[in-house]
A = this chain, B = another copy of it.
Amino acid sequence: MNIPIALLGYGNVGRAFVELVQRKGEALRRDVNLAVTLIGIATKSHGAVIDPDGLDLEAVRRAKALGEPMPTLDFIARCPAAAFLEATSTNPFDGQPALDFVRAALRKGAHVVSANKGPVVFAHRELQALAREKGVGFFFESTVMDGAPVLGVGREGLPGADIRRIRGIFNSTTNLILTLMETAGMAFDAALAETQRLGLAETDPTLDVDGWDASIKTAILANVLMGADLRPADVDRQGIAGIAREDVLEAAKNGERIRLVCEASRAENGRVQARVAPERVPMHGALGSVMGTTSIVEFETDMLPCLTIVEHDPGPMTTAYGMLVDLVNLARGRAQESAE
């Protein structure tokens, strides 16, 4: 089977994805009988390109500008891709314009893979219903813990189970800041500057530091795996800006670490509540032992008392791999959720 695909957005993740298709094309043909052909790329400020016969990946990787500018909605209308991969940056306020891109792609009957959290957190129910109506799929593994199969496990590995609580550490930047404050004795500002120097924090670090990114991911897990319908602002949110080096060192003296803990849980009345806040956790427990950019999620269910997944050292390539996994699973027909 051959699947023609197109990329929306061509930043770090988009470029890593093209490299990945080059590296793994042969393995995918061999292992899952799937040929992935990149036929288009749309960018906001570096033009767009479409070639139904397949782009020259090497040329595309070297290129700075891709072609004439083209509005992305026009690109989606014109490009004959069977799957569009949304890799533009997340708008945490309303998910736009990516939300309109995803709507347009699904409406024309193409699968969508989104590494962009915006459309998922603001319109998961609408977009899944639209995908079902059109007989296509909408997957987004990379939105939470990059390439780690967190949403895939929820989709494939826990049928019939009642997820009572999800708890974890989902934001790499804040975890690295807290790690540096402890292990290198840095003040908050110095640790933040260091994560920026490493290219991990955004230029405007508010989204990480104030817990917005973590809240968006927590809401996605609550909505997709626990049937909730939360927006980022519905998450009870507290960031790490108020934490001083002294707090971190004081916790360490007591065998504890401060971590930005994300949690979604079902209350007795059935409602799902979500919160993100710094917590002191035991240094040697599951969450306390997570250092640097590593992420962790714990699922408490009525079937498995506690199932934990940890992803070490993510980067643009692991995010791109999550998109590739989604693409393979869509091509394998995994969007079909029921047994019929």
Contact = CB atoms under 8 A, between A and B. Distances in A.
Given A308-B310, A309-B308, A318-B303, A153 B149 contact: yes
Contacts of A308: 308-312
Given A31-B159, A156-B152, A156-B334, A147 B303 contact: yes
Interface string A174-212: 000000000000000000000000000000000000000
B32 A147 contact: no
A28 interface: yes
Given A33-B340, A306-B312, A28 B160 contact: yes
B303 A313 contact: no
A336 B33 CA distance: 11
Copies of this protein chain in the complex: 2
Contacts of A313: 305-306
Q: How large is the interface on A (under 10, 10 to 19, 20 to 34, 35 or more residues)?
A: 35 or more
A313 B149 CA distance: 22
Nearest to A151: B157
A162 B24 CA distance: 10
A304 B311 contact: yes
A153 to B, nearest CB: 5
Interface string A314-340: 100110010011001101111011111
B307 A148 contact: yes
A65 B308 CA distance: 40
Given A1-B339, A157-B325, 13 more contacts: A27-B162, A31-B160, A32-B159, A32-B339, A152-B156, A284-B289, A304-B321, A306-B310, A306-B311, A308-B308, A308-B309, A308-B310, A308-B312
